[in-house]
Amino acid sequence: MRKHTARRRAIVSVLTEARGEAGLSQRALSEKLGEAVTYVHEVETGQHGVRTEEFIAIAEALDIDPLELLSRVLRRKT
């Protein structure tokens, strides 16, 4: 498996878990982000790669420090 593919899977996993920990549905998170619910679904299924500014916006919508969320990604085995 290519490294960037493993990293994307780590990002998807961390974001999905963080949303669950925050107790938000995909719809609720999409509303906080001002995005269509399909956006969150596509992020969580890996269909939409997350740019830096999107990652930060998602973290903030989940009330998590973006650096903490990134550290979770980096701690994942790739």
Quote the pTM value. 0.90
Identify which of 23, 8, 31 has the alpha carbon closest to the alpha carbon of residue 64: 23
Q: What is the mean pLDDT of residues 42-46?
A: 95
Tens of pLDDT, residues 4-17 = 688 999 999 999 99
Domain residues of the chain, as ranges? 3-75
Label residues 9-41 b or e (16+ Cβ within 10 Å = b). ebbbebbeebbeeeebebeebbebbebeeebbe
Residue range 3-75 in CATH 3.90.480.20: no
pLDDT at 74 over 80: yes
Q: What is the pLDDT of residues 28-41, one digit of tens each?
A: 999 999 999 999 99
